[in-house]
A and B are shown apart, each in its own frame.
Chain A
Amino acid sequence: MTLVTIETSTSAAAVQPFPSRVAPLARRDARTEPRLVRGIIITLALTFLTVFVVLPLALVFLEAFSKGVGFYLKALADPEALAAIWLTLVTAAISVSLNLVFGVAAAWAIAKFEFRGKTLLITLIDLPFSVSPVISGLVFVLLFGAQGFFGPWLMAHGIHVLFALPAIVLATAFVTFPFVARELIPLMQEQGSQEEEAAISLGASGWRTFLLVTLPNVKWGLLYGVLLCNARAMGEFGAVSVVSGHIRGETNTMPLLVEILYNEYQLVGAFAIASLLAFLALVTLIVKTILEGHLDEGQPASDD
Chain B
Amino acid sequence: MRGAPKRSALPGFGLTMGLTLTWLSLLILIPLAGLFIKTTELSFTQFVDTVTSNRTLHALKISFGLAFLAALVNLVAGLLIVWALVRYRFPGRRIFDAIVDIPFALPTAVAGVALTALFAQKGWLGAPLAELGIKVAFTPLGIFIAMVFIGIPFVVRTVQPVLIDLEVEIEEAAACLGANRWQTVTRVILPSLTPAILTGFALAFARAVGEYGSVIFIAGNLPNVSEIAPLLIVIRLSEYRYADATAIAVVMLVTSFLIIFVLNRIQRWAQTRALAVG
List residues of A whose CB falls within 8 A of some B CB. Answer: 1, 3, 7, 10-11, 13-27, 29-34, 38, 41-42, 44-46, 48-49, 51-57, 59-60, 63, 98, 101-102, 104-106, 108-110, 112-115, 121, 123-128, 130-135, 138-143, 145, 147-149, 170, 173-174, 177, 193, 196-197, 200-201, 206, 209-210, 231, 234-238, 241-242, 254-256, 258-259, 262, 270-271, 274, 277-278, 280-282, 284-285, 288-289, 304
Contacts and interface: CB of A to CB of B under 8 A. Distances in A.
B143 interface: no
Contacts of A22: 94, 97
A57 B113 CA distance: 10
Interface string B207-218: 001111100010
Interface residues of B, number: 110
Contacts of A173: 27
B221 to A, nearest CB: 11
Given A19-B158, A132-B252, A174-B31, A193 B10 contact: yes
Contact of B27 (A46, A138, A174, A289): A174
B48 interface: no
Contacts, number: 332
Contacts of B29: 124
B106 A258 contact: no
12 contacts: A26-B86, A29-B168, A102-B20, A106-B19, A106-B24, A124-B24, A131-B32, A134-B212, A193-B10, A237-B112, A255-B108, A289-B98
State the 10 A-B residue pairs at the shortest beta-carbon distance, nearest first. Answer: A235-B107, A132-B210, A237-B213, A206-B11, A238-B212, A56-B114, A139-B31, A255-B109, A281-B105, A134-B230
A49 B81 contact: yes
Contacts of B110: 60, 235, 255, 258, 274, 277-278, 281
Main SS class of interface, B: helix
B77 A21 contact: no
A113 B13 contact: yes
A124 B28 contact: yes
Contacts of B35: 135, 138-139, 142
Contacts of B80: 41, 44-45, 48
A235 B212 CA distance: 13
B125 A132 contact: no
Nearest to A227: B105
A135 B253 contact: yes
Contacts of B87: 26, 32
B104 A18 contact: yes
A106 B28 CA distance: 14
A132 B114 contact: no
Given A20-B97, A22-B94, A48-B81, A200 B10 contact: yes
Contacts of B196: 14
Given A41-B80, A54-B99, A105 B16 contact: yes
Interface string B56-75: 00000000000000000000
B165 A132 contact: no
Contacts of A210: 12
A3 B240 CA distance: 53
Given A38-B88, A127-B28, A141-B242, 6 more contacts: A45-B85, A53-B152, A55-B124, A139-B35, A177-B28, A242-B237
B149 interface: yes
A11 B101 contact: no
